[in-house]
Amino acid sequence: MDGSGPFSCPICLEPLREPVTLPCGHNFCLACLGALWPHRGAGGAGGPGGAARCPLCQEPFPDGLQLRKNHTLSELLQLRQGSGPGPGLAPAPEPTAPSAPPSAPEPTPSAPEPSAPCAPEPWPAGEEPVPCDACPEGAARPAALSCLTCLASFCSAHLGPHERSPALRGHRLVAPLRRLEDSLCPRHLRPLERYCRAERLCLCEACAAQDHRGHELVPLEQERALQEAERPKVLSAVEDRMDELGAGIAQARRTVTLIKSAAAAERERVSRLFAEAEATLQRFQAEVLGFIEEGEATMLGGSQGDLRRQEEQRSRLSRAQHNLSQVPEADSVGFLQELLALRLALEEGCGPGPSPPWELSFTQSSQAVRAVRDVLAAACASQWEQLRGLGSDEDGPRKPGMEDAELPDPDSSDPLESEPPRDYFLKFAYIVDLDSDTADKFLQLYGAKGVKRVLCPINYPESPTRFTHCEQVLGEGALDRGTYYWEVEIIEGWVSVGVITEDFCPQEPYDRGRLGRNPHSCCLQWNGRSYSVWFHGLEASLSQPFSPTVGVCLEYADRALAFYAVRDGKMSLLRRLKASRARRGGAPASPIDPFQSRLDSHFAGLFTRRLKPAFFLESVDAHLQIGPLKKSCISVLKRR
């Protein structure tokens, strides 16, 4: 039977078998609907979770509708097939036997087999194609198109209703899609057909009419064509960003390695110093205990000799007394002799005995050890506070003869003072990306690296971290416990480059919110004529000539911030900001430098918090660019 006839099922394209009629008037095979609905989900052909719909016209009807056989239509079909066409019915062509004998070379053409449209076709190798949703399960053919209105995919045979029926010609057909639900508006369950350029969203017609009035709306295909033209730029930017991330990852890995090796070396040095300190204390303990033993032996020698002499004298007196008492009364000679012996023994010890010592020399040992203990405890507490960043340089011990010179850091040297080549700093290169959530409304960002001051305010979204009174912008991320280096290209105008604490309030007024005008930030300023450095409201002028490339090196270990002029790979120090060591007696340097005094008083406080790279565009034509460290960093890391 011709699939286009009125008595054929729109699903299987065969003559209706046990026909059922939906409320919309369309007829289907009972078995075809039973096979289609479970395949499409509990909501019927209308889509997952939605109302049941007619597979042909998509008219919804109640989910609980009971399908019943249309007996009248079934009888008409039986009459048509058995006794010829009934009133108003077209004759049903039946397959006829060939008029020629079986050996005839030309067989009589016959109608296509009814089951051919649903016969499975072999799928090509590779990716599995999208199956047709109208074919019986298990015998689905590859879909030719997907209908975004029906939310179903159809093979070439089942696309016939969409090509013939006027009600279905308005449906949107696209290339086969495996997940049709992704092309459906979750709010209105309608196809996504429009694109809002203002909010960068794919919309259905209902969303476009309700919530996006006045926005620039274009068809999806038009926006796709435009975005396809932009794809090379996006892919190029992605490659650049991946290169930057690669350099950042290499830097982070090297930093991790350096931290681990530095920690291991420091543990070894500390363990060695503690062992030396323990050995020193053990030697001191042995010396003190030896001193006590020596003093004890010396003083015991004299005291024990006096004790023996006195005991011997007492023994002689006792014997002489006993001998006198044993003399008989009649023996006058013996009495006189024994009495004389007793007197002589008594005269031997008539002098004063040795007096006890007023002071034992070794009893001062505990006081000396107690003093050492107190000094050691105080030194440990002071050094621990300095190690944690809570103390000041004034608490440290001073060596003799250092009154007129600054104390050098023990076991360390400052490589930055010797201005090594640029490759040395690239080992600490930090990739700075500008944070758009901090940019003032009069600053125009160009990607994550460029910024320029403009006259017309930009409608940035509200952000609690955005500067509101100063034309400033910060870099992403916060810095602490390490060494960081980045470069800035001054393109035009007055520009300030520096750092600011992470917790600084961006809503501060202009006079206190600018870089270097508060204790929470410091910077290098180019005012069109010369360089100067700012901190805590004080300025120090510099005499070096202008260099469009400025290098910034932040050193947490030394609590220092250095600015360099970069020319042809060579570094020239502009100014290194650091609190100077205190001198004996607190005597200031001569002559007095107010800026350095301010650094000595407050600069170390910056390093008790996390810092961010900061940029201030002061003049109306100011323009700067974050330096291109990417390729340089990669080359240095590869060489290393």
Domain CATH for 508: 2.60.120.920
Give the number of domains in the chain.
3
% of the chain beyond a pLDDT of 90: 27
Long-range contacts of 32-35 (CB under 8 A, 24+ apart): 32/136, 33/67, 34/67, 35/136, 35/137
Whether 487 contacts 449, CB under 8 Å? no
How many angstroms separate the CA atoms of 20 and 28, rounded? Answer: 6
Mean pLDDT, rounded, for 108-127: 43
Does residue 575 belong to any structural domain of this protein? yes
> Among 394, 392, 386, 612, which residue's Cα sits nearest to residue 520?
612
Specify the DSSP class assigned to residue 44: G
Residue pLDDT, tens place only, 400-410? 333 333 334 43
107-121, 177-191, 352-366: range with highest mean pLDDT:
177-191
How many angstroms separate the CA atoms of 151 and 181, rounded? Answer: 7
Q: What is the mean pLDDT of the chain?
A: 78
CATH number of the structural domain spanning residue 139: 3.30.40.10
How many angstroms separate the CA atoms of 238 and 230, rounded? Answer: 12
Does residue 138 belong to any structural domain of this protein? yes
Give residue 351's pLDDT: 57
Residue pLDDT, tens place only, 228-283? 888 898 899 899 889 889 988 988 898 899 899 989 998 999 999 999 999 999 99
Does residue 327 belong to any structural domain of this protein? yes
Give residue 352's pLDDT: 57
Does residue 114 belong to any structural domain of this protein? no
Q: What angle do CA 196, 198, 200 make, to 5 degrees?
A: 55
**Banded model confidence at residue 427, pLDDT cuts 50, 70, 90:** confident
Helix then strand then coil, % of the chain, to nearest 5:
40, 20, 45
> Among 239, 8, 271, which residue's Cα sits nearest to residue 117?
8
How many angstroms separate the CA atoms of 57 and 150, rounded? Answer: 9
How many angstroms separate the CA atoms of 629 and 360, rounded? Answer: 74
Helices (H) and strands (E) in the chain, counts: 11, 23
How many angstroms separate the CA atoms of 408 and 554, rounded? Answer: 20
Three-state secondary-structure class, residue 550: strand
pTM over 0.85: no
22-31, 60-69, 164-173: range with highest mean pLDDT:
22-31
Give residue 173's pLDDT: 83
Same-domain check for residues 484 and 631: yes
pLDDT at 632 over 60: no
Same-domain check for residues 315 and 457: no
182 versus 533: the higher-pLDDT residue is 533
**Banded model confidence at residue 116, pLDDT cuts 50, 70, 90:** very low
Give residue 396's pLDDT: 41
Same-domain check for residues 49 and 180: yes
The alpha carbon dihedral of 255, 261, 267, 273 has a sign of negative
Same-domain check for residues 172 and 287: no
Count other C-beta atoms under 10 Å from residue 343's C-beta.
Answer: 10
Q: How far is CA 90 from CA 7, 29, 80, 165, 433, in A?
A: 10, 20, 9, 20, 77
**Banded model confidence at residue 482, pLDDT cuts 50, 70, 90:** confident
Strands (E), 26-129: 27-29, 52-53, 60-61
Same-domain check for residues 157 and 278: no
Mean pLDDT, rounded, for 477-493: 91
Same-domain check for residues 264 and 317: yes
120 versus 285: the higher-pLDDT residue is 285
Of 349, 376, 398, at which residue does a domain stop? Answer: 349
pLDDT at 301 over 60: yes
Residue 311, class by beta-carbon neighbours within 10 Å (0-12 exposed, 13-18 middle, 19+ buried)? Answer: exposed
Give residue 354's pLDDT: 58
Whether residue 85 has a cis bond before it, omega within 30° of 0: no
Specify the DSSP class assigned to residue 464: T
Whether 462 contacts 605, CB under 8 Å? no
How many angstroms separate the CA atoms of 106 and 406, rounded? Answer: 115
Tokens at 27, concatenated = 């007829």
Whether 626 contacts 476, CB under 8 Å? no
Tokens at 217, concatenated = 């709306």
Give residue 438's pLDDT: 95
Give residue 211's pLDDT: 82
Same-domain check for residues 19 and 162: yes
In the chain the first and final C-alpha atoms are separated, in Å, by: 79
Give residue 591's pLDDT: 57
Residues 6+ apart with CB under 8 A from 544: 531, 565, 572, 574
Does residue 205 belong to any structural domain of this protein? no
Residues 6+ apart with CB under 8 A from 470: 440, 508, 510, 513, 514, 616
Specify the DSSP class assigned to residue 414: -
Give residue 240's pLDDT: 87
**Banded model confidence at residue 525, pLDDT cuts 50, 70, 90:** very high
Give residue 631's pLDDT: 52
Long-range contacts of 263-271 (CB under 8 A, 24+ apart): 269/411
pLDDT at 176 over 90: no
Residue 551, class by beta-carbon neighbours within 10 Å (0-12 exposed, 13-18 middle, 19+ buried)? Answer: buried
Give residue 327's pLDDT: 86
Does residue 110 belong to any structural domain of this protein? no
Same-domain check for residues 240 and 332: yes
**Which range marks the domain in which residue 73 is found?**
1-88+126-184
Give residue 394's pLDDT: 40
Three-state secondary-structure class, residue 484: strand
Of 349, 374, 395, at which residue does a domain stop? Answer: 349
Of 349, 367, 383, at which residue does a domain stop? Answer: 349
Whether 551 contacts 563, CB under 8 Å? yes
Residues 6+ apart with CB under 8 A from 365: 288, 291, 292
Does residue 502 belong to any structural domain of this protein? yes
How many angstroms separate the CA atoms of 526 and 618, rounded? Answer: 10
Same-domain check for residues 177 and 315: no
Lowest mean pLDDT among 28-37, 170-179, 293-302, 398-407: 398-407
Count other C-beta atoms under 10 Å from residue 575's C-beta.
Answer: 18
Strands ordered across the beta sheet of 538-541: 472-474, 611-617, 495-501, 521-526, 531-535, 538-541
Does residue 511 belong to any structural domain of this protein? yes
pLDDT at 114 over 50: no
How many angstroms separate the CA atoms of 152 and 168, rounded? Answer: 13
582 versus 87: the higher-pLDDT residue is 582
**Banded model confidence at residue 357, pLDDT cuts 50, 70, 90:** low
Rounded to the nearest angstrom, the gap between the alpha carbon of residue 618 and the centroid of all alpha carbons in its chain is 31
Residue for token digits 């980045």?
486
Whether 574 contacts 564, CB under 8 Å? yes
Specify the DSSP class assigned to residue 609: S
Give residue 200's pLDDT: 87
Same-domain check for residues 84 and 11: yes
> Among 566, 561, 572, 562, which residue's Cα sits nearest to residue 550?
566
**Banded model confidence at residue 334, pLDDT cuts 50, 70, 90:** confident
Count other C-beta atoms under 10 Å from residue 278's C-beta.
Answer: 10
pLDDT at 284 over 50: yes
Whether residue 591 has a cis bond before it, omega within 30° of 0: yes
Same-domain check for residues 246 and 176: no
Furthest C-alpha separation in the chain: 193
Same-domain check for residues 491 and 608: yes
